[in-house]
A and B are shown apart, each in its own frame.
Chain A
């Protein structure tokens, strides 16, 4: 095993670039998945089966098929439909959409966990429907599900390297480019592997703190 610290030093500037892109994907993808997941969850509670069934079928399909193929689909098919985005935007949309089908279930569990008494109280106070949701149900539901959402953010972090396949230069993309140019495979790959472990460990510590403060 030959380990070359110089190669590590040469790789570090690329590493920071890649880390920045990875975090960018993570933040934007999380936002999309949080918002879209809530939309799916609310739609799947509508009384009309013409809304519930298609939403259920689509989210089930997206959840049970590989993110990688979905990314290829978006990357190659959207331009055919006249929608041309950058690779990064496509990737963020893809990963956000994929994870929204997971966060949807989290929200749904959270909404169902709100005690029935809260609904009854809202009815008794004659609150309008919108107000019931925004002032009574969602604040309690979202508070409960923050830890579970955080877990999906950590999973998403570990799926960001897939965007390398559609030419996004995030951490793994930078590492591969560097390896191919300099014929050092061991160092860059090990550096980013360690980086993933460290980042997800720190994130899980952060999450545990958040959980203690939010969940009664």
Chain B
């Protein structure tokens, strides 16, 4: 490969990483808001949050991307820069899966903790912030780690819309060189390396957060088998 083509691939990696970071931030924000809203005492708040998760988990991420790129502009009269459109579609879709993780982890906290908060006359917000979340967040890390890998794989979808991410630059290089096997192997390897680094980072994060509430991480063997993968969990 010539240096120009390598530069193209590096630009693709950079776009993929930007998209990954932005949509991961949006997805995290959305999943905490929607997940916490599902434990709200007003039924309308719970219902709206549930509706959001069911709709966005029910549809395909690629269909959502098409929708944001092609339906939003004529329908509402504004067009997003491709990077933000991709971020919006991926963040909202994967945020819906994340909301289920947050809700599950919150409901897995021992009810006595909640009752203790009530007995101490904490406000609902104080209970959430000081009692529930510090215990629930470390438990969320392994499923969130799986979801992050799913999100990384999801970022490849924007290449269909012509955004210059890693998969897209792989296609361009293939057109230039006609050596499909070699090029796609490189692209897959880069994705794999990113995924590997992400799992390492998340494992370190889990360790730190668990130390904060006086726990050790679960033994790492077969962790993926023990719990259904984030996005792979499907509608349940």
Q: Which residues of A contact B (CB under 8 A)?
A: 1-2, 61, 64-70, 72-73, 76-77, 80-81, 102, 105-106, 108-109, 112, 147-148, 150-155, 157-162, 164-165, 172, 175-176, 179, 185-186, 189-190, 192-193, 196-198, 200-201, 203-204, 207-208
Docked complex: B171-188 residues within 8 A CB-CB of A: 171, 174, 180-181, 184-185, 187-188
A186 x B75 contact (CB < 8 A) = yes
Which of B26-34, B189-197, B201-209 faces chain A? B189-197
A72 touches B171 (CB 8 A): yes
Rounded to whole Å, the gap between the CB of B140 and the closest CB of chain A is 19
- Asked if B233 is at the interface of the complex by the 8 Å CB criterion, the answer is yes
Q: Do A68 and B59 touch across chains, with their CB atoms under 8 A apart?
A: no
Contacts of A161 in B (CB 8 A): 60, 62-63
Number of residues in B with C-beta < 8 Å to the partner?
Answer: 52
Contact B181 A68 (CB under 8 A): no
| Residue positions of B touching A, CB distance < 8 A | 54-55, 57-64, 66-67, 70-71, 74-76, 149, 152-157, 159-160, 167, 170-171, 174, 180-181, 184-185, 187-188, 191-192, 195-196, 222, 224-226, 228-229, 231-236
Cα A179 to Cα B74 with chains together (Å): 13
Contacts of A73 in B (CB 8 A): 180-181, 184-185, 188
A197 to B188, CA, bound (A): 30
Chief secondary structure at chain B's binding surface: helix
Smallest CB gap from A111: residue in B = B225
B158, closest chain A residue (CB):
A68
Question: Which A-B residue pairs are the 4 nearest by beta carbons?
Answer: A151-B234, A197-B58, A66-B156, A204-B235
Q: In the complex, what residues of B have CB within 8 A of residue A160's CB?
A: 60
Whether the Cβ atoms of A65 and B63 lie closer than 8 Å is no
Selected contact of A158 from candidates B60, B149, B236, CB within 8 Å = B60
